[in-house]
Amino acid sequence: MIMKKAFLLFSIITPFLLSVLTSCEKEETKPPVETPKNSTTITVISPKGGKDYNNGDSIYVSVNITSDTMLYGYRLTIRDRLYKNDIKFTTFSAAQALSYSYSSYWVNNVLTHSDLEFIATTYKGSLQDSISKIVEFHAHM
């Protein structure tokens, strides 16, 4: 009889003690995961991709570059897609900044129908650490 009472008492007290002991444990929380800040955005406003430009047209070059880390310059180039060394327009800046905004134009003076590409490149510390955006368009003679 004593064994039955002891077993009954043990079976009633044990779950209670376990719940008290486990509820007192400190919950382990993980620190929030931070998104690394290393974002650079190149927005080409003009020229428009896929557009045809006639001879004598002004092709506006307009770009915004932003970053949450220091940038070390940019280069903007219009060149022939097939003959990469045939550069029609280029400009650059070596100024350090978090953002750049550039607007100008180039007058289409190609001598043959040409598939061209506009390349906007920014540098994040060295020439090898660069980010580019390419827009392709067509120029008529």
**What integer pLDDT is reported at residue 4 of this predicted model?**
57
- Preceding omega of 47 cis (within 30 degrees of 0): yes
Domain boundaries, the chain: 40-139
Long-range pairs of 53-56 with CB within 8 A, sequence gap ≥ 24: 53/108, 53/137, 53/138, 53/139, 53/140, 54/108, 54/140, 55/108, 55/109, 55/110, 55/139, 55/140, 55/141, 56/107, 56/108, 56/109
Grouping H, G, I as helix, E, B as strand and the rest as coil, residue 127 is: coil
Closest CA to 98 of 17, 53, 37, 140: 37
d(CA 106, CA 78): 9
Report the topology of domain 40-139.
Answer: Immunoglobulin-like (2.60.40)
d(CA 59, CA 131): 23
d(CA 70, CA 100): 11
**What integer pLDDT is reported at residue 76 of this predicted model?**
97
Q: What is the pLDDT along the chain (141 residues), one digit of tens a residue?
A: 665 555 555 556 666 555 655 555 555 666 665 555 668 999 999 999 999 999 999 999 999 999 999 999 999 999 999 888 999 999 999 999 999 999 999 999 998 999 999 999 999 877 678 999 999 999 988
Round the average pLDDT of the chain to a whole number and report it.
84
| Cβ-Cβ contacts under 8 Å for 22 (sequence gap 6 or more) | none
**What integer pLDDT is reported at residue 32 of this predicted model?**
62
